[in-house]
Structure 1
Amino acid sequence: MDEWHARVRADFPYREGRTYLQSAGVGLPVPAADAAAGQYYRDVAGLGVDAQQLWHRPAQRARERLARLLGVPVADVGWFRNTSEVLNLAAASVDWHPRDEVVVAADDYPGVLLAWTRAETAGATVVRVDPGRAQERQQRLLDALTPRTRVLAVSHVHPWTGTKLDLTVLGRACREVGALLVVDGIQALGATPVELSCVDVYGAGVFKWLLSGFGTAVGVFRERAREQLTPAYRSYANPPPSTSFEYSAPNLPGLYVLDASTAYLEELGWERVFGRVDALAGQVADALRGAGVQPITPDGARAGIVTFAPADSTAVVAGLAAHGVDVSDKVGRVIVSPHFYNDAEDVDRFAAALRAVLPSGRPDAG
C-alpha cells in the first residue's frame, strides 16, 4: 500500500467491518469537516457581526478552487442551496413563449423533469424523450432537438443507470438550434472531470462526491446564460441591472466545510482522485460480469456509478448489507458507487457478497 493510499484509508475509516459503496447517496466527510463547521460558529461567537470579515474568506477560497477545477471564470461560480434551486432558477429566468420546447429524458431525476412546470404553464412543451438503452441516451436527446428547443436539460451522470453524457457534444448541438444546455451535475462533480466550455448552466449539490454535506450547491451560470436569462430572484446581492443569479447569503457554515473539502481534494490531486474513481468503477463492472451480471452502465460512458437490475433489487441490497457491503436500491436497480477512498479489497468484498446473495447466480440485466 503506497503512502497516498494509506493516508486516504486512514482518513475515511467508516464503520469497522463494513464496506461503503454509496457515495452517489452521501459522500463521507473529510477529516477536517467537523472542525471547519465549528469554526464558523466560533468566529461568530467571538466576534458577532464583525466576523463577517472572516466568514467570506472560506467561501471565496472554495469558489476559486471550483473555478480552477471547472476551468471557468471565478465570477461564473455561485452558491445556492441545492441542485434543484439552480435548475428552477434557470427555468424561472427564461422568457417563455408558446411553442417553445424543453427537451428532457423521460426517466431523468425529478429535479430535472419538474423544474420546467412554469414553462408548460406559459405555453411551452416539455418533450420527454424515451432514452432507450443506456448507450442510446445521448443520441436520442440529440435527435429530439429542433429549432423550437429553448433548453436541453440533462443529468451529466444519470443517477439510476450511471450513464455519463458528453456535454461538449450536447452543448454544440444546442448552439446549432439556439438552445441553452442546463445540467444537473450532482452525480459528476467530484467524481469525474467536468468540461463546461459548451455548457450554459451547471448545478451540483456538494453532499455526494464533494463530501461537504447538505445545504450548499455550486451553480455555474456562463456568459451565454447571463446574456439570455433575466434573474428571476432579486435581492440585495443582485439588484438590477445585475446579471448575477446569487441573490442572498449562502450557507456559510457549509462553505467553511466546502473550503476544507476542496482544499483536501486539491491537495490529493484531482487527476488521481478521478483516475481512482474510474478504475474502481471499472472493477465493479468487471465483478458484475464475473458473477454473470451485465451492468446497465456503459463502459465507455461511465463516472462513479455502476448499476444493475436484478429481479428483486431490494432483496439483493439487503443481502449485501447482511454481508457488510452497503450499496443503494433505487427504481429497481442496485446502485454501486465507489469513491477514491475505496480500494480493490472493497470491490473484492462486494464481488464475494454478490455471489453469495444472487439467486441462482444470475439476475436479470434489465
Structure 2
Amino acid sequence: MDEQLARARADFPYRDGRVYLQSAGVGLPVPGAVAAAGQYYVDVAGLGVDAQQLWHRPATRARERMARLLEVPVGDVGFFRNTSEVLNLAAHSVAWHAGDEVVVAADDYPGVVLPWGPAEAGGGRVVRVDPGQPHQREQRLLEALSPRTRVLAVSHVHPWTGTKLDLTRLGRACREVDCLLVVDGIQALGATPVDLSWVDVYGAGVFKWLLSGFGTSVGVFRERARELLTPAYRSYANPPPSTSFEYSAANLPGLYVLDASTAYLEELGWARVFAQVDSLAGEVADALSRLGIAPVTPAARAGIVTFDVEDSTAFVAALTARGVDVSDKVGQVIVSPHFYNTAEDVDRFAAAVGEVLG
C-alpha cells in the first residue's frame, strides 16, 4: 500500500479488531461526512430560506465532480433519490408500442428487472435471459437483442456474482438495433472506471462505493436519451419543453455529504482508488484459490468477489465470530474490499476461511 493510502486508512476506524469487507453493502463514510450533513442544518437554522445561496454550492460542486469522473457534460448529471428511481424514470419515459421488447438478465437485481411494466402495459414484453455461467452473461444478453428491442437493461456489476460487463461492447450492439442501454451502476461507480461513451442512462446510489449514505443517487441521462425519451415526471424543475429528468429538489443534506465524499476521493485520486480495489479483489480471489475454492466471480470484475459454500449463512456467521465481516446473499459469500482495506485484511480473511474449512 502506498503512503497516501496508508494515511487514508486511519480515516476509517471501523470497529476495533474487526475486518470490514462489506463495501458492496454500505461504504464507510469519509471523515467529513458528519460535519457536512450537519452543515446543511446549520445553514438553514441561521438563514432560513436565504440559505439557498449556500446549499446550491455543494450540489454544484458534487455535480461537477461526478461529471469529471464520468467524463460527461455537467448537464448530463442529475441527482435523484435512489437507483430505482432513475431506472423507473427511464421505463416510464419511453413511448411503448405493441411488439417492443426489453432485454434483462433473469437473475438481475429486482431494480433492473421490475421497472419495465410500462412496456408490457403498452403491448410489449420483457425478455428475461438465462445468463448461464457468470462469464457467459454478456454474450447471452447480446444474443437476445433484436430489431424489436427498445431497451437493454443491465447491472454494470452484478450484485451477487460480481461480474462486470463491458458497457462499450453492449452499447455498440444497442446502437446496431437502435435500442437504449440503461444501466444500474450502483456496484460499479466509485469502485472501478466507468466509461459512458455508449451508455444512454446510468443510475447509481451513492451509499456503497461512493461512501455518501442513503437517499441520493446519481442519474446520468445522455443526450441520446434526452432526445428519445419524454420525462415521465414533470414539476417546477423541468416544465415542458425541458428535457431534464430532474423534476424537483434533490436530497440537499445528502448532497452536502456527497460533496465532501467526492472531494476526499478526488484528492486521494480516483486512479489510486480503482487500482487498490482491483488489487484487493484480486488478492481475495487468489487467496480463495489457494484454499481450494474457485470464486464464482470471473476475471471481469470490480470490487466484489463471490464464492459458494454448502451453508453460506453458517459460513458467514463463523467468519463473523472470527472478526471478519462479509455478506451472505442468495446462498453465496460476498466479499467486497474498498480502498481503505489492506493486504493484511485479506490475510486475516484468508486465515479465517482456512480455519472454518478446517
Structures share fold, TM-score greater than 0.5? yes
Q: What is aligned with 2:342?
A: 343
1:61 alignment partner, SS class: helix
In 2, Cα distance between equivalents of 1:70 and 1:347: 29
In 2, Cα distance between equivalents of 1:353 and 1:120: 48
TM-score by length of 2: 0.99
How far does the alpha carbon of each residue in 1:142-164 deviate from its partner, in whole angstroms, 9 at most, with x for none? 00000000000000000000000
2:10 alignment partner, SS class: helix
- Map residues 45-64 of structure 1 onto 2, 5 A cutoff: 45-64=45-64
1:319 alignment partner, SS class: helix
1:8 aligns with 2:8: yes
In 1, Cα distance between equivalents of 2:118 and 2:254: 30
Q: Which moved more, 1:340-349 or 1:114-123?
A: 114-123
CA 2–172 in structure 1, closer or farther in 2 if over 3 Å, else same: closer
1:288 aligns with 2:288: yes
- What do you get for the CA RMSD once the two structures are aligned? 0.7
Q: What is aligned with 1:41?
A: 41
In 2, Cα distance between equivalents of 1:228 and 1:134: 32
1:47 maps to a residue whose letter is L
Q: What is aligned with 2:189?
A: 189
Q: What is aligned with 1:251?
A: 251
How far does the alpha carbon of each residue in 1:79-111 deviate from its partner, in whole angstroms, 9 at most, with x for none? 000000000000000000111000000000000
Q: What is aligned with 2:356?
A: 357
Residue 2 of structure 1: CA displacement? Answer: 4.4
In 1, Cα distance between equivalents of 2:276 and 2:6: 14
Q: What is aligned with 1:83?
A: 83
Which sections of structure 1, spanning at least 5 residues, go unmatched?
Answer: 362-366
The total of aligned residue pairs comes to: 358
In 2, Cα distance between equivalents of 1:90 and 1:311: 39
TM-score by length of 1: 0.97
In 2, Cα distance between equivalents of 1:22 and 1:175: 36
In 2, Cα distance between equivalents of 1:176 and 1:120: 23
Q: What is aligned with 2:297?
A: 297
Q: What is aligned with 1:331?
A: 330
1:213 alignment partner, SS class: coil
How far does the alpha carbon of each residue in 1:8-42 deviate from its partner, in whole angstroms, 9 at most, with x for none? 11100100010000000000000000000000000
Q: What is aligned with 1:236?
A: 236
How far does the alpha carbon of each residue in 1:95-138 deviate from its partner, in whole angstroms, 9 at most, with x for none? 00111000000000000000101211211110000000000000
1:283 maps to a residue whose letter is E
- Map residues 1-366 of structure 1 onto 2, 5 A cutoff: 2-299=2-299, 301-358=300-357
In 2, Cα distance between equivalents of 1:31 and 1:254: 15
Residue 3 of structure 1: CA displacement? Answer: 2.8
Contact 2:5 2:339 in 1 (8 A): no
Contact 2:216 2:251 in 1 (8 A): yes
In 1, Cα distance between equivalents of 2:69 and 2:6: 25
In 2, Cα distance between equivalents of 1:49 and 1:110: 39
In 2, Cα distance between equivalents of 1:317 and 1:290: 19
In 2, Cα distance between equivalents of 1:19 and 1:329: 16
1:278 maps to a residue whose letter is D
In 2, Cα distance between equivalents of 1:2 and 1:279: 12
Which sections of structure 2, spanning at least 5 residues, go unmatched?
Answer: none
In 1, Cα distance between equivalents of 2:340 and 2:6: 10
2:172 maps to a residue whose letter is R
2:97 alignment partner, SS class: coil
Q: What is aligned with 1:364?
A: none
2:126 alignment partner, SS class: strand
In 2, Cα distance between equivalents of 1:162 and 1:57: 36
1:64 maps to a residue whose letter is E
1:349 maps to a residue whose letter is R
1:116 alignment partner, SS class: helix
Residue 209 of structure 1: CA displacement? Answer: 0.1
4+ residue stretches of structure 1 with deviation over 3 A?
A: none
Residue 309 of structure 1: CA displacement? Answer: 1.1
How far does the alpha carbon of each residue in 1:177-233 deviate from its partner, in whole angstroms, 9 at most, with x for none? 000000000000000000000000000000000000000000000000000000000
Q: Which moved more, 1:111-120 or 1:259-268?
A: 111-120
1:238 maps to a residue whose letter is N
In 1, Cα distance between equivalents of 2:34 and 2:247: 28
1:355 alignment partner, SS class: helix
Residue 5 of structure 1: CA displacement? Answer: 2.6
In 1, Cα distance between equivalents of 2:237 and 2:354: 55
Residue 244 of structure 1: CA displacement? Answer: 0.2
Residue 6 of structure 1: CA displacement? Answer: 2.6
Contact 2:168 2:198 in 1 (8 A): yes
How far does the alpha carbon of each residue in 1:242-301 deviate from its partner, in whole angstroms, 9 at most, with x for none? 0000000000000000000000000000000000000000000001101110001111x1
1:28 maps to a residue whose letter is L
Percent identical among aligned pairs is 82
